[in-house]
């Protein structure tokens, strides 16, 4: 930069190209030039002349008008663009951008978590709302415990939503709506609780009922009355009343590994006093059998002295029955039923059971491959099964024991795979279900003479977990149970 005088108050500055960038800063630099003293100018002029003699003379690229200050110095102001890349500022911007991205991702993750929690709270509120509406519309009397449980659940929801609301910055319409619904639910439950005056009456009725039951127990505990007697084959009673404790006869003749099978006593209407027993263990897989034994008396059964050991074409399941010297069973892997003469050791008849669902389609609960279950009672031979048309509900058919033709059929509303076993007694079907590993309950009945079905409750003790077969015998009026390989027997009592 060179300066020259132009007048009294004006001066000229000449800007020339410069390779030295040591005086530059980032951005546009503002240089203020001042005219040096005369001695300095003289020295610079001489230096410039020497430099000019050695190098090319500098080239001016701009003339700028300046002004003289009070001391006579020339001052000029120019703006020079800086072409150097601002590295430090770019690094600062990159750090700021990375920080903002991390904060954005953290906020986005929190928003997703809040969305999930809000959906969960909405579902819980919907469930509680449905329960409250049911309580409001139903005439059933609810106890104090029901209201306390509702209050606890609503209180938990209110606490969680309050925490969520405090963690969200700013207002959120969805959370506010949930909080309002919880408040409304609290008011509604309190109103229902205050109006539920029937609880007192219901509890009083329960207390009176319990007192009556205790009084009846005290009055009858010292009474020892003999059970009513009904002749074998008689149906003058009003149905099943109770069963005795189980009498464990023995383990089946094949051993403990043969947990599946059936056993019982033959019922011969022409000779009811004749004692013939059968035991038919299934193979260890619990599906088929080929050997079974016939015992001529109960003592022979206890002493392992069979009258016959018979072999037949494979039978399937533990639903076999012995009636009037003939053994009835379900033929393996088919819908056929067969009649086997135990004296002549041959199959007398084999016929398909119409529409029967087989291949383990609708077996009993806990017992596989018992699609077709034979039963014997005072009136003859029955078969218990299911069909596709009945959608798995129990179907009862009365059979002609000579021809195996179906004489009559009844369709129940009891789903067969939900019962553990069944038997016939005086034309009435009784079904059982498992209560525990040591308790079974006769809970369902269907009367074929009237078409009526209903609920009963007769609890049976058992020795092991599963009852594989259950058969009733009209001669001695007992139940014969195959219980995980053991042979059990129960006495039956009837209603007067």
- What is the CA 74 to chain-centroid distance, rounded? 94
* 66 or 336, greater pLDDT: 336
* 61 or 20, greater pLDDT: 61
pLDDT digits (tens, 9 = 90+) for 208-253: 666 576 667 666 655 656 677 888 888 999 899 999 999 999 999 9
Q: By the 8 A CB rule, do 324 and 266 touch? A: yes
* 214 or 388, greater pLDDT: 388
Quote the Cα angle for 456-458-463, to 5°. Answer: 145
- d(CA 440, CA 365) in angstroms, rounded, equals 12
Q: Average pLDDT for residues 186-196, to the nearest whole number?
A: 66
pLDDT of residue 223: 61
pTM above threshold 0.85: no
φ, ψ for residue 447 (rounded to 5)? -95, 115
φ, ψ for residue 380 (rounded to 5)? 135, -145
What is the average pLDDT score of the chain?
A: 81
- d(CA 431, CA 71) in angstroms, rounded, equals 125
Q: By the 8 A CB rule, do 67 and 11 touch? A: yes
Quote the Cα angle for 371-354-452, to 5°. Answer: 75
DSSP-derived 3-state class of residue 216: helix
* Least confident window among 4-18, 73-87, 158-172, 412-426: 4-18
Q: By the 8 A CB rule, do 372 and 337 touch? A: yes
pLDDT of residue 104: 83
The side-by-side arrangement of strands in the sheet containing 406-415 is 373-377, 380-385, 393-399, 406-415
Q: Average pLDDT for residues 359-372, to the nearest whole number?
A: 96
How many residues in total does the chain contain? 496
pLDDT digits (tens, 9 = 90+) for 458-473: 999 999 999 999 999 9
* Least confident window among 83-97, 182-196, 313-327: 182-196
* Least confident window among 32-36, 166-170, 259-263, 431-435: 32-36
Q: Average pLDDT for residues 360-368, to the nearest whole number?
A: 95
Q: What is the share, in percent, of the chain residues with pLDDT greater than 90?
A: 50
β-sheet bridge partners, residue 339: 328, 349
Residue 289's nearest CA partner among 259, 324, 246 is 259
Residue 469's nearest CA partner among 246, 282, 340 is 282
Q: How many helices (H) and strands (E) does the chain have?
A: 6, 26
Q: By the 8 A CB rule, do 296 and 276 touch? A: yes
β-sheet bridge partners, residue 383: 374, 397
Q: Say whether pLDDT at 6 is over 80.
A: no
DSSP-derived 3-state class of residue 315: strand
């Amino acid at each position: 930069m060179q300066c020259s005088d132009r007048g009294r108050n004006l001066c000229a500055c000449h800007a020339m190209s410069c390779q030295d960038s040591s005086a530059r800063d980032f951005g546009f630099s503002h240089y203020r030039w001042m005219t040096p003293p005369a001695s300095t100018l003289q020295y610079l002029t001489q230096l410039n002349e020497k430099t000019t003699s050695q190098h090319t003379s500098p080239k001016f690229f701009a003339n700028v008008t300046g002004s003289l200050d009070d001391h006579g110095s020339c001052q000029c102001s120019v703006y020079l663009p800086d072409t150097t890349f601002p590295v430090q500022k770019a690094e600062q911007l990159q750090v700021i951008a990375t920080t903002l991205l991390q904060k954005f991702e953290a906020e986005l993750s929190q928003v997703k978590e809040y969305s999930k929690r809000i959906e969960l709270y909405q579902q819980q509120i919907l469930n509680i709302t449905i329960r409250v509406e049911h309580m409001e519309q139903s005439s059933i009397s609810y106890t104090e415990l029901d209201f306390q449980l509702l209050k606890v659940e609503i209180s938990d929801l209110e606490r969680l939503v309050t925490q969520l609301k405090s963690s969200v910055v700013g207002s959120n319409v969805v959370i506010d709506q949930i909080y309002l619904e919880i408040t409304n639910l609290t008011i509604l439950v309190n109103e229902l609780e205050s109006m539920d005056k029937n609880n007192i009456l219901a509890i009083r009725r329960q207390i009176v009922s319990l007192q009556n039951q205790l009084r009846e127990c005290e009055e009858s505990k010292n009474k020892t009355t003999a059970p009513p007697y009904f002749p074998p084959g008689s149906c003058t009673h009003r149905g099943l009343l109770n069963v005795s404790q189980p009498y464990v006869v023995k383990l089946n003749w094949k051993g403990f590994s043969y947990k599946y099978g059936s056993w019982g006593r033959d019922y011969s209407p022409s000779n009811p006093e004749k004692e013939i027993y059968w035991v038919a263990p299934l193979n260890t897989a619990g599906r088929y059998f080929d050997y079974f034994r016939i015992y001529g008396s109960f003592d022979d059964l206890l002493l392992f002295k069979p009258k016959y050991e018979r072999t037949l074409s494979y039978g399937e399941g533990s639903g076999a029955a012995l009636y009037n010297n003939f053994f009835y069973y379900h033929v393996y892997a088919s819908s056929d039923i067969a009649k086997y003469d135990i004296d002549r050791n041959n199959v007398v008849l084999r016929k398909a059971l119409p529409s029967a669902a087989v291949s383990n389609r609708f077996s009993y609960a806990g017992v596989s491959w018992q699609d077709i279950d034979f039963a014997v009672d005072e009136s003859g031979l029955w078969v218990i099964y299911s069909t596709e048309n009945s959608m798995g509900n129990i179907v009862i058919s009365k059979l002609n024991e000579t021809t195996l033709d179906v004489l009559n059929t009844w369709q129940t509303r009891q789903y067969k795979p939900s019962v553990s076993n069944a038997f016939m007694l005086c034309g009435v079907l009784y079904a059982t279900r498992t209560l525990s590993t040591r308790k079974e309950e006769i809970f369902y009945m269907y009367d074929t003479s009237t078409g009526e079905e209903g609920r009963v409750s007769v609890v049976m003790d058992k020795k092991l977990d599963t009852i594989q077969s259950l058969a009733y015998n009209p001669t001695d009026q007992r139940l014969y149970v195959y219980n995980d390989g053991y042979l059990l027997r129960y006495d039956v009592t009837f209603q007067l």
